[in-house]
A = this chain, B = another copy of it.
Amino acid sequence: MRIDVAFTPAGLGASDLTGRTVFVIDTLRATTTICTALANGARGVIPVESIDEAMRLTQTLERKEVLLTGERHSVRVDGFDLGNSPLEMTGPVVQGKTLVMTTTNGTKAVLATTGASSVYLASAVNLATVGEVARAAAATTEGFLVLCAGRSGAFALEDAYTAGRLILESLGGRRHRKGLNDAALVSVDLARRYGTRWLRPLFLSAAGRELREKGFQEDVVEAASESRYAVLPVYADRRISLQGVPAVATSS
Contact = CB atoms under 8 A, between A and B. Distances in A.
21 contacts: A5-B155, A7-B7, A7-B154, A7-B155, A10-B11, A10-B153, A11-B150, A11-B155, A13-B152, A154-B182, A155-B183, A155-B186, A157-B185, A160-B182, A181-B206, A182-B205, A185-B204, A186-B186, A186-B190, A189-B189, A189-B193
Given A181-B206, A206-B181, A153 B11 contact: yes
Contacts of A154: 6-7, 11, 181-183
A98 interface: no
A195 B183 CA distance: 19
A185 to B, nearest CB: 6
Contacts of A204: 177, 185
A156 B94 CA distance: 42
A41 to B, nearest CB: 34
Contacts of A206: 181-182
A15 to B, nearest CB: 10
A113 B129 CA distance: 43
A195 to B, nearest CB: 14
Contact of A8 (B10, B151, B181): B10
Contacts of A150: 11
A149 to B, nearest CB: 13
A18 to B, nearest CB: 16
Interface in A161-199: 177, 181-183, 185-186, 189-190, 193
Contacts of A11: 8, 10, 150, 153-155
Q: Which 5 A-B pairs have the closest CB atoms?
A: A157-B182, A11-B154, A10-B10, A155-B183, A11-B153
A181 B210 CA distance: 12
A131 to B, nearest CB: 23
A153 B186 contact: no
Nearest to A153: B11
A238 B30 CA distance: 42
Interface string A133-156: 000000000000000001111111
A207 B181 CA distance: 10
A11 B153 CA distance: 5
A38 to B, nearest CB: 28
Contacts of A193: 189
Nearest to A16: B154
